[in-house]
Structure 1
């Protein structure tokens, strides 16, 4: 969905062609994207009525260039989806485009949603940690051979490390959101 958000957010700023939007995306945000995926998202937004052609520019000896703009429905969808991204985040990378588009929403409202998400994330990982200490988990571990136990240990260590890292960055983002309009 973040690719669609970028397209909508860019068109909320100014009318543009698909080619210009794709180039702008790659210039601004460090991601890799296939041309097919980009154009698929662009066409899907047009089919849903969120964007529409607004002007065709004719250039001598070149194909016509169509500029697109965002519709009112597209603006409403953009705002709602940015808020939704702060409600559903599990990795900070998933929010790059939403952070880039903060000017289209109320950062305080996004902060509220992110705060709730952080609480849920912390609760979930605390439950995993407690489950790991229970007798049932220890019995399951004992039923595994030594290599499987080491593998589970490695996977668990990585998962907990990633969760701590993600929570750390979500908390930094929360501080950023709260100070965004200062």
Structure 2
């Protein structure tokens, strides 16, 4: 669903060749905030073409390169775009952080290893936060308002993640996860 929405949205902005779509997706760093399967763009374009959501505007022939097919969005595609947009806004999902599984068993892990891993994650998250700030400084003022909203949300989520990781690291240094292990072991008959 996401790839179809992206393709139709890009064509709502103007006619494009799939390679141009790919370039715009990269320029906007969509891979950081939209889950897109690699290699699915051309497949989705073909599918949308068969469904008459998009159509061929022209085929540009060049002797030194393969033919370039330029697509546009049809009236049917514009309706589908609006429906997909509505579905995406209403979509709900459960969020599963990759660390949640490890946290369920943290009391069984080696505390020194866990402390080092958390410290590394903190440093990595600080780097991500810096990168997000640089991206915003570079694109922020000239980006569409929706993109600015994405950047601001990513920045805020990263700050929350950093605070959470720092608290976990502090708890690990204070031995709180080890204390949990001792309590569990003492309760056994």
TM-score normalized with structure 2 length: 0.46
Q: Which has the higher helix share?
A: 1
| TM-score when normalising by structure 1 | 0.47
State the structure with more CA Rg: 2
Q: Looking at both structures, which has the greater relative contact order when contacts are Cα pairs under 8 Å and sequence separation is at least 6?
A: 1
